[in-house]
Amino acid sequence: MARRRVSSFNIASLALGLAFLYLPIVILVIYSFNASRLVTVWGGWSLRWYAELFNDDAMIEAAWMSLRVAGASATIATVLGTLAAVALSRGERFRGRTLFSGMLYAPLVMPEVITGLSLLLLFVALNAERGFWTVTIAHTTLTMCFVAVVVQSRLASLDRSLEEAAMDLGCDPARAFLAVTLPLIAPAIAAGWMLAFTISLDDLVIASFTTGPGSATLPIRIYSEVRLGVKPEINAISTLIVGFIAVIIVVASLASKLSSAQGENAAPL
């Protein structure tokens, strides 16, 4: 195959695009270490705002709430999303398949205000107490489709003759799945869990609708502060979140590298 030439226009547009994506975050991180209270005046390097952050009980409580919701909803979403991916990619045709895949992928693009409002009305009708569990259920519904997309594209690229060989050698379908398929898609499942975790950690709109009084998540807390203006503490908590997510991404990309080492066309994301 002949190699395509990379023009300087290609390089320039790529470099500008990446700079555009990263510069604001880099600036935010730098300013979080600014000693001055005025966000715009540079007062030297300092960890002052991080120290203040750890005295902010409301913020810490909100962070803890967010982490618990993200952990619980990502775990349920991973189980359900993986089951859905298996059914769609291995189940051939079944009754209600179109409705199923429609419902599964719609939350991917559905405006969050609609998902949030509709779930809240359900919870009110069921008379459910709003708080940890209602937000967890809402986030599970939101993130399940992301897990399903990641796992399904891995399953699609997997050589099916491996499963068939296991069954020809006497495995029943359940055994073939557990012994052959599951280990092969495990990295994709792990990547799916981490994606679900970060999306839950990030969500403001759906959490605002479905949470109850006294149980604010981190984005809700940050949002109410941001509306009042820029504050150095917010720079600090943002930097912590960005760092935390960066760690998750490194782990997830290692997992997907593991996955692509095993199969040729491992899906991105």
Q: Which of residues 124-183 bind another protein (CB under 8 A)?
A: 124-125, 137-138, 140-141, 144, 148, 152-153, 156-157, 160, 163-164, 167-168, 173-174, 176-177
Which C-beta is closer to another protein: that of 51 or that of 113? Answer: 113
Please report, for residues 3, 6, 72, 199, the alpha-carbon distance to residue 13 in angstroms, rounded to integers and kept in the order given: 20, 12, 41, 29
Question: Which listed residue (47, 51, 58, 106) binds another protein by CB under 8 A?
Answer: 106
Q: Which helix H or strand E contains 110, and what residues bound it? A: none
Handedness of CA 44, 45, 49, 51 (dihedral sign): negative
Identify which range of 50-58, 67-75, 101-109, 182-190 contacts another protein by CB under 8 A.
101-109
Instruction: Give 45's strand partners.
Output: 34
Residue 234 sits in the site that holds another protein (CB under 8 A): yes
Q: Looking at 245, 258, 262, 263, which residue binds another protein (CB under 8 A)?
A: 245
Cα–Cα distance for residue pair 181/155, rounded to 1 Å: 8
When asked if residue 56 is in the footprint of another protein (CB under 8 A), the reply is no
Which residue of 74, 104, 190, 196 would you call a contact of another protein, by CB under 8 A? 104
Taking the C-alpha atoms of residue 265 and residue 259, their distance in angstroms, rounded to an integer, is 10
Give the binding range for another protein (CB under 8 A) out of 2-10, 43-51, 53-61, 182-190. Answer: 2-10
Query: What is the closest distance, in whole angstroms, from the C-beta atom of residue 14 to another protein in the complex?
Result: 4
Residues 58-87 that bind another protein (CB under 8 A): 79-81, 83-84, 86-87
Q: For another protein, which residue of 35, 36, 112, 133 counts as binding (CB under 8 A)?
A: 112
DSSP per-residue string spanning 162-223: HHHHHHHTT--HHHHIIIIIHHHHHHHHHHHHHHHHHHHHH--HHHHHH--TT---HHHHHH
d(CA 19, CA 36): 27
258 binds another protein (CB under 8 A): no
Q: Is 89 in the site for another protein (CB under 8 A)?
A: yes
Residues 183 to 202: which contact another protein by CB under 8 A? 195, 198, 201-202
Q: Is 247 helix (H, G, I), strand (E, B) or coil?
A: helix
Q: Measured from the CB atom, is 44 or 268 closer to another protein?
A: 268
Does 50 interact with another protein (rule: CB under 8 A)? no
Among 47, 113, 178, 261, binds another protein (CB under 8 A): 113
Query: For 51, phi and psi rounded to 5 degrees?
Result: -65, -45
Q: Which residues lie closer than 8 Å to 200 by C-beta, 6 or more apart?
A: 66, 69, 70, 73, 74, 139, 142, 143
Residue numbers 204-233 binding another protein by CB under 8 A: 204-205, 208-209, 219, 222-223, 226-227, 229-230
Contact 82, 192 (CB under 8 A): yes
Picking from 265, 244, 261, 259, the residue whose alpha carbon sits closest to that of residue 29 is 244
Stretch (H or E) spanning 16: helix 8-32
Choice between 13 and 47, CB closer to another protein: 13
Please tell me whether residue 102 binds another protein under the rule CB under 8 A.
yes
